[in-house]
Chains A and B, each alone.
Chain A
């Protein structure tokens, strides 16, 4: 019961575990996956300083440090429910119910699926699935793929597939419908792409930076966007084509694509087939927050953070006693931000257990998180700071409502 419990062995969970164990408290980390590291495991990209960010090595470093400090890590352990009874959190797993006074939920993110005809065929997978298969399991998801959905995640993973010598025929848009709307409109996609252009040393960047100064020029950019795409890492990015359906008899054989207008509508008669044996669907990431929801946390939908997030403050405390959150459950950002949030949550937990001697360190960790956010190489949403300000406003309103209740 004195053991702090952390759900999620990703960058946030592991760094929180390390921070807490360093102060002499015992920690148990639970994760349903077969390896520690979470989504960090699949990450692989070149940083501006020329070094490779290797998610497998970074995960191993965090894991080794946690294990050296005596952190207990239970993998293969899905958590099905949590609840608070008499001031203690109960964590339900298949084999055991764990009890703790301090629980950190660091469950990360999940991928938004884009419904496209044929998407249940074997060989269709989320873009993250292809990333994990390639970098973590070291099995090619196929010989030739098509990526549907143009965003930060899909462009980063396309490059990772190329590194592993996997052919990517093209990255293109889904046919626009009520669900895929923002992923299927060329102008919206172009807007969201502009902040990843620094990752692509290609004609696309030059085209982008010159043309995209204002809305009119953006429209012009889309109008004159080459129908066969602009190449990034030798992969055509097609903003003026969309996948109408994925076809195949019992497994993926290819996609049917068509040219679309600047507003995203299919131009009849332009349909053609592209052969592929695997298809990646890239709908972006959203915070994986079910456990915080069943716990009873109030939620707010904040577009800039990637979806619904449980109400929390910058110290990673939720409105519920003894319940903390860190990492992508608080908004979609990179692993480095998750690590600094994990450290902050760890310090807040120590502070609560030891009767408040960590205030200076917590302030430092909060500042460090902000600095990390400002320096982030990959930003999943360009306005993430606006999202964080909205969240802070909701938190302040919550504090006022609690005060009013006490006075009444």
Chain B
């Protein structure tokens, strides 16, 4: 299980007291205030943030600093938010994305 690093041989210790509750796909989780959504979910053992719009395969963080957009989730109704850049807040409702009904695939035979 993925864990919080409270004590570190070089970096300062962190406090685990200021927590917030939020939901991801209607499941309730706790994390530290100002954790990124990605970190808040990872510490709770959640790696899959969405499923690919076309293939439906699971995706998690890749770059963790906003470049790759693999971690996009819906936050309080707003789509396309990057879980790695968005701090988690008390009562926040985060939902993942899934396979879309209309495929954007190129159906020509050479692209099968």
Question: How far, in whole Å, are A368 and B43 apart by their CA atoms in the complex?
Answer: 43
* Chain B interface size range: 35 or more
B21 at the interface (CB under 8 A from A): no
CB pair A120–B64 under 8 Å, yes or no, is no
B residues 79-103 in Cβ contact with A at 8 Å: 84-87
Given A33-B66, A128-B64, are A138 and B4 also a contact pair (CB < 8 Å)?
yes
Contact of A122 (CB < 8 Å), options: B5, B10, B39, B48: B48
CB pair B39–A137 under 8 Å, yes or no, is yes
B77 at the interface (CB under 8 A from A): no
Question: How far, in whole Å, are A126 and B5 apart by their CA atoms in the complex?
Answer: 20
Contact of A124 (CB < 8 Å), options: B34, B35, B39, B62: B62
Question: How far, in whole Å, are A133 and B38 apart by their CA atoms in the complex?
Answer: 9
**Contact partners of A44 in chain B: CB under 8 A:** 10-11
Q: What is the minimal beta-carbon distance from A162 to any residue of chain B, in angstroms?
A: 10
Interface string of B1-37 (1 = CB under 8 A from A): 1111110111100100000000000000000001110
**Contact partners of B86 in chain A: CB under 8 A:** 34
Q: What is the minimal beta-carbon distance from B41 to any residue of chain A, in angstroms?
A: 9
Binds B, one of A11-19, A139-147, A381-389, A395-403: A139-147
Question: How far, in whole Å, are A47 and B16 apart by their CA atoms in the complex?
Answer: 30
Contact of A120 (CB < 8 Å), options: B8, B36, B59: B59
Q: What is the minimal beta-carbon distance from B18 to any residue of chain A, in angstroms?
A: 13
CB pair A34–B85 under 8 Å, yes or no, is yes
A207 at the interface (CB under 8 A from B): no
Contact of A113 (CB < 8 Å), options: B2, B4, B9, B62: B62
Name the CB-closest residue of B to A123: B47
Which of A113, A123, A128, A133 is packed against the most chain B CB atoms within 10 Å?
A133
A116 at the interface (CB under 8 A from B): no
A366 at the interface (CB under 8 A from B): no
CB pair B11–A135 under 8 Å, yes or no, is yes
A residues 8-56 in Cβ contact with B at 8 Å: 32-34, 39, 44, 52, 54, 56
Which of B3, B42, B47 is packed against the most chain A CB atoms within 10 Å?
B47
Q: What is the minimal beta-carbon distance from B46 to any residue of chain A, in angstroms?
A: 9
CB pair B35–A125 under 8 Å, yes or no, is no
Question: How far, in whole Å, are A139 and B49 apart by their CA atoms in the complex?
Answer: 16
Given A33-B66, A121-B58, are A139 and B42 also a contact pair (CB < 8 Å)?
yes
**Contact partners of B47 in chain A: CB under 8 A:** 122-123, 251
Given A122-B49, A139-B4, A250-B58, are A52 and B10 also a contact pair (CB < 8 Å)?
yes
CB pair A126–B64 under 8 Å, yes or no, is yes
**Contact partners of A132 in chain B: CB under 8 A:** 64-65
**Contact partners of A76 in chain B: CB under 8 A:** 85
Question: How far, in whole Å, are A138 and B74 apart by their CA atoms in the complex?
Answer: 24
A194 at the interface (CB under 8 A from B): no
Task: Give the interface of B toward A (CB within 8 A).
Answer: 1-6, 8-11, 14, 34-36, 38-39, 42-43, 47-49, 52, 57-68, 70, 84-87
Q: A133-B64, A139-B42 are in contact. List 9 more A-B contacts (CB 8 A).
A: A32-B66, A111-B63, A123-B60, A124-B60, A124-B62, A129-B61, A138-B4, A139-B4, A140-B3
Task: Give the interface of A toward B (CB within 8 A).
Answer: 32-34, 39, 44, 52, 54, 56, 76, 78, 110-111, 113, 120-126, 128-130, 132-135, 137-143, 163-165, 250-251, 288
4 A-B pairs with least C-beta separation: A122-B60, A129-B64, A137-B39, A122-B47
